[in-house]
Amino acid sequence: MYPPEVYRSYLTPLRFLQRSAAVFRQKPAVVYGDRSWTYPELAARVNRLASALRAAGVEKGDRVAYLVPNIPALLEGHFGVPLAGGVLVAINTRLNTEEIRYILNHSGAKVLVIDTELAGVVEPVLADLETVETVVNVEDISGGVRLPGLDYEEFLAGGSPDPLDWPIADEDETIAIDYTSGTTGRPKGVMYTHRGAYLNALGELLETRMSSDSVYLWTLPMFHCNGWCYPWAVTAIGATHVCLRKLEPGAVWDLVRAQSVTHFCAAPTVLIALANHPAARQGPLPRKLIVSVAAAPPSPTIIAQMEDLGAEIVHVYGLTEVYGPYTVNEWPPHWDALPREERARLKARQGVGYLIADDARVVDDQLRDVPADGETLGEVIMRGNNTMKGYYNDPAATAEAFRGGWFHSGDLAVMHPDGYIELRDRKKDIIVSGGENISTIEVERAVVAHPAVLEAAVIAIPDPYWGEVPKAFVTLKPGETVTEADLITFCRTRLPGFKVPKAIAFGDLPKTSTGKVQKNVLREQEWAGYEKRIH
């Protein structure tokens, strides 16, 4: 018997940068504004970061937190922190002071790397941070607040560009902890492993057909599910990262054309803003553009709009607990011959498990698969290579999420006869009106089909007779008008009577930093004073 080292090596994203630095020595690895780095230059900076972290006292398993936008420093952290032996904690840049304090203390972060523009949020609780020993300031733009500590470039200068040995003894070691949004309680720390990150990164490459001449634009926050593992995926294939500090639709279209972007990821609400921006139609796209969409179910309307602009939509679905995407709407070639509206309807389904994932199931309360009839509701459950290791320092929540040996998503879906799943709602969002289930997603799709509507969110509101009924919150396109009565009449042509919104409110929708509409905020205002507990 040969020793295991001969036929087995650890699966870790650290291998990706090591290989690309050796193979792709001339081409840009990172582009940011008027600056760029080759892959060998990126690797040298990562080595400096890792050795500097070790010199600062980071030991195996220590957590290193980043509160940094989509700039090269955070990309470097995805490799430098695990290379130092640490665990990356990339924090949502739009959280408030108390939420950030909680995450830093709960994770036990030893080092905090922070952008000076964001440091003002942390400054009031700096003395309350229980474990942070070292602060590193990233001054990417002028202004902001410098916390007591080192400058990022000075910190790197104190490290060595020479390669370091990988500190991995087990590929199931934690590489990152990603905190959930915490809209219904304290955020939970989702643990990713080296193995899971490696495999999910490969899954992204396969499902989006990325190659070494691809150019990836950072529209998706890197803090969100570690950017769906794209920091590792783009690097693995030797493609080019184009960093974008702040997402603005005009800037996105400018970079798509100027940098010949081939790929980016976005939530449906981001696509709505992009598709309706004047710059969207300021000339043809220089290259084939593949856009991965998730975070909330996209409507057939926005899918068709984006594809009319020349983009190809890859619809994926997942959660923080499954490294971002878990399923993909695999596209059989014969669907290309279908009419535009039918293609968009099919593409709005969530699909099947990634090549590197197990099949997603739709089950009843007894974990029995529901009939594949496209009608029977059940919960989506998953397990396998791209499922989290568990919640950090929270065994009770982990046991609840993994009951029955599967991860429970909390999402309600149907299984179609062809094996594709389609979401109907979150468990907490489903409307039960007079004993009938109403999918808010179905109602939202009917509302946004109106040409004057930009986006919509539907929730249950109290009703003295039916218990609860649908209400739509609607944002109109600039310059468009439509009355509540006219929009309700429009919905009656597309929905059964009991699913038609009984009321409509116009205005902006509250959203999270990743583009999800905060339905909990809408529910709280509508159910205030009622006995029913809000999910």
| Backbone angle region of 459, left / alpha / beta, with phi > 0 → left and psi within -120 to 50 → alpha | beta
Q: For residue 428, what are its two tokens?
A: 């907490």
Q: At what angle do helices 230-237 and 72-83 cross, to 10 degrees?
A: 90
Res 479: pLDDT: 92
Res 531: pLDDT: 55
Same domain as 314, residue 354: yes
Res 184: pLDDT: 52
Mean pLDDT calculated for residue range 492-509: 90
Res 533: pLDDT: 41
Same domain as 182, residue 99: yes
Helix (H) or strand (E) holding 395: helix 395-401
Give the lowest-confidence range in 70-79, 248-257, 295-304, 336-345: 295-304
Residue 226 inside a domain? The answer is: no
Q: For residue 192, what are its two tokens?
A: 């990713």
What are the pLDDT digits (tens) for 85-131?
Answer: 999 999 999 888 999 999 999 999 999 999 999 999 999 999 999 99
Among 337, 380, 323, 26, residue whose Cα is nearest residue 178: 323
Last residue of a domain, one of 365, 396, 426: 426
Helix (H) or strand (E) holding 189: strand 189-193
Residue 261 inside a domain? The answer is: yes
Residue 31 inside a domain? The answer is: no
Sign, CA dihedral 74-76-81-82, equals: positive
Among 381, 335, 11, 341, residue whose Cα is nearest residue 196: 11
Residues spanned by the domain of 90:
8-22+37-194
Helix (H) or strand (E) holding 269: helix 268-275
Q: At what angle do helices 39-55 and 72-83 cross, to 10 degrees?
A: 60
Give the lowest-confidence range in 7-16, 20-29, 515-524: 515-524
Same domain as 458, residue 333: no
Last residue of a domain, one of 194, 210, 234: 194
Q: Is the pLDDT of residue 3 over 80?
A: no
Same domain as 253, residue 142: no
What are the pLDDT digits (tens) for 371-394?
Answer: 999 999 999 999 999 999 999 999
Among 386, 483, 499, 502, residue whose Cα is nearest residue 441: 499
**Who contacts 392 (Cβ-Cβ below 8 Å, separation ≥6)?**
106, 107, 174, 177, 188, 189, 190, 191
Domains in the chain, number: 3
Length of the chain: 535
Q: For residue 266, what are its two tokens?
A: 């976005």
Same domain as 398, residue 281: yes
Residue 204 inside a domain? The answer is: no
Q: Is the pLDDT of residue 39 over 60?
A: yes
Residue 219 inside a domain? The answer is: no
Q: Which residue has the higher pLDDT, 436 or 535?
A: 436
Among 292, 310, 281, 268, residue whose Cα is nearest residue 475: 268
Residue 228 inside a domain? The answer is: no
| Angstrom distances, CA of residue 215 to CA of 231, 234, 250 | 12, 8, 18
Cα dihedral 345/348/350/352 (nearest 10): 50
Last residue of a domain, one of 426, 459, 478: 426
CATH for 496: 3.30.300.30
Same domain as 344, residue 270: yes
Same domain as 353, residue 472: no
Same domain as 133, residue 69: yes
Cross-strand pairs, 532: none
Same domain as 494, residue 345: no
Give the lowest-confidence range in 18-22, 234-238, 375-379: 375-379
* Average pLDDT for the chain: 92
Mean pLDDT calculated for residue range 500-523: 86
Residue 163 inside a domain? The answer is: yes
Residue 374 inside a domain? The answer is: yes
CATH for 378: 3.40.50.12780
Res 526: pLDDT: 86
Mean pLDDT calculated for residue range 214-222: 97
Q: For residue 397, what are its two tokens?
A: 């929540």
DSSP state at residue 335: G
Among 332, 340, 297, residue whose Cα is nearest residue 316: 297
Same domain as 349, residue 302: yes
Q: Is the pLDDT of residue 503 over 90?
A: yes
Res 529: pLDDT: 67
Same domain as 412, residue 322: yes
What are the pLDDT digits (tens) for 270-297?
Answer: 898 999 999 999 888 999 999 999 877 7
Res 534: pLDDT: 42
What are the pLDDT digits (tens) for 46-63?
Answer: 999 999 999 999 999 999
The residue type at 134: T
Same domain as 369, residue 280: yes
Mean pLDDT calculated for residue range 316-336: 94
Would you place residue 475 in the very low, low, confident or very high pLDDT band (cuts 50, 70, 90)? very high
DSSP 435-455: TEEE-HHHHHHHHHTSTTEEE
Res 509: pLDDT: 92
